[in-house]
Amino acid sequence: MAYCSKCGSQVNDGDRICGNCGEPVNGANRTPETANSNDTWMGILSYLGFLALIPYLIKDQSSFVRAHAVRGINLLILEVIAWVAVGVFSWVPVLNGILSTVVGLASFAFSLIGIINVANKEDKELPFIGNIRLIKG
């Protein structure tokens, strides 16, 4: 037998709300914001280059996956732009090497940060580029 956390009256085991005051029992009415394992995998896909299209294009994803998929697509577009810029300088021997190294490392770092956010079930923006929105959610 449970007791209402708000008013202290007895609540039957099957009841989701207190019959006396209407308070949800054991958080029954609270929808948990924690991601399930499917959300985690879909979130990780969001930061694996073109695989971000999978969580982005599948409808009915949780808001957690959706937000990460949009971040992943934004990152992907930025990376494409960066690689085009690297291509423009491909005729400059040393500069091209430096640029491609920087872009490669940055792409890797942003993907890693995104995946860590997903693994920690955190719905946060990527640093530095988080507010650059080339596509909306």
* Nearest distance from C-beta of residue 29 to Zn ion, angstroms: 13
2, 3, 6, 122: which one binds Zn ion (CB under 5 A): 6
Using alpha carbons, list the distances in angstroms from residue 33 to 62, 75, 121, 125.
Answer: 10, 24, 9, 17
The answer to whether residue 12 forms part of the interface with Zn ion (CB under 5 A) is no
| Cα-to-chain-centroid distance, residue 66 | 7
Residue 15 sits in the site that holds Zn ion (CB under 5 A): no
Q: How far apart are CA 113 and CA 111, in angstroms?
A: 6
Q: Of the listed pieces 1-9, 68-76, 82-90, 118-126, which binds Zn ion according to CB under 5 A?
A: 1-9
The letter for the amino acid at 129 is: I
Ranges assigned E (strand) in 4-137 = 10-11
Applying the rule CB under 5 A, the residues between 23 and 82 that interact with Zn ion are: 23
Instruction: Name the minimum Å distance from CB 38 to Zn ion.
Output: 35
Chain positions contacting Zn ion, by CB under 5 A = 4, 6-7, 18, 20-21, 23
